Amino acid sequence: MKKRDISKLITEQRNENSIRIDDKSTEEIIEIFNMEDQKAVKAVIKEKKNIAKAAELIVESFRKKGRLIYVGAGTSGRLGVVDAAECPPTFGVERDMVQGIIAGGYEALIRSIERAEDYPDEGVLAVQGRNVNHKDTVVGISTSGSASFVIGALEEAHGLGANTIFIMCVPPPEDMPFVDVFITPIVGPEIIAGSTRLKSGTATKLVLNMLSTISMIKLGKVYDNMMVDVQVWNAKLVERAKRLISHIGQVDYDRAAEILEDAEGNVKVAIVMARMGISYEDAVKLLDEKNGFLRKALEG
């Protein structure tokens, strides 16, 4: 793999707005941060069409019983792992449906292992280790677009038939035919030159939020603007579930608690039971007929 010269990348340049930042007051530094962070939001919306294409590929994979697999290094890798970890409790999906791979493995989540990103062969092995196939979508994350681990992983994933997406904060290169969709929010030079955990990290997090959440919406995991496939894994989530059942199912709080128990903790089933006045078995059957979409079950 050809080594990339990062010296000319936007992410490595000095930001004119933060010159002499070490001589600024704390409040002045905060103002600089706020001004620059707004650029991340604007950069993301410019990538709307590419984000939409990527989300459609992910939904396509899910409908084929495939997976969404994030691959990144450093901050990018951590953001991918976090997004993957949040999907099961939020949307009630299996733990292996959305996965995160970070260069350097588990230790890299809590301790920087900077050189881990330099080995494309390790990226290849990581993808092979997850048994990536044509049903899956693999999302590479590297704000500079230069992490060899990520590039190696994407090229291998493409060779195995998977959909491939690359999130980076620089213009897309022309020598990566193995990438199906590039998402490139150009946020400009960082406040501290080269510290891409700042604006670039913010833009990346925004994109990941969209990719996972939009795909879950399209699978029927959300009703209106509420996460109705929430898993009742702790006290907070149990309370949230009861409120959902009470509100959407149109029953009082105490009755919602009873129905949640009768529904074996399945919030969506409980809502159908409450709203339609039907049994657990009939609610499960109705949702199955509607492919899990609560609105279709409730509105016919």
- Concatenated DSSP letters for 128-177? HHTT--TT-EEEEE-TTS--HHHHHHHHHHHHTT-EEEEE-SSPPPSS-T
Q: How far apart are CA 85 and CA 190, in angstroms?
A: 28
- Residue type (1 letter), 231: Q
Whole-model pTM? Answer: 0.91
Looking at the chain, the domain(s) classified CATH 1.10.8.1080 span 223-299
Per-residue pLDDT of the chain (300 residues; tens, 9 = 90+): 555 667 677 888 888 889 999 999 999 999 999 999 999 999 999 999 999 999 999 999 999 999 999 999 999 999 999 999 999 989 989 999 999 999 999 899 888 887 888 899 999 999 999 999 999 999 999 999 999 999 999 999 999 999 999 999 999 999 999 999 999 999 999 999 888 999 999 999 999 999 999 999 999 999 999 999 988 889 999 999 999 999 999 999 999 999 999 999 999 999 999 999 999 999 999 999 999 999 999 997
- Residue type (1 letter), 293: F
For residue 4, give every residue at least 6 positions away whose Cβ sits within 8 Å of its Cβ, in sequence order, or none.
145, 146
Catalytic residues: 86, 117
Q: Which two tokens stand for residue 194?
A: 């080269």
Return the closest-CA partner of residue 183 out of 73, 45, 77, 62.
45
Looking at the chain, the domain(s) classified CATH 3.40.50.10490 span 10-218
- Crossing angle, helix 267-276 and helix 253-262, to 10 degrees? 120
Q: Which CATH superfamily is domain 10-218 in?
A: Glucose-6-phosphate isomerase like protein; domain 1 (3.40.50.10490)
Assigned CATH topology for domain 223-299: Helicase, Ruva Protein; domain 3 (1.10.8)
Q: How far apart are CA 100 and CA 71, in angstroms?
A: 6
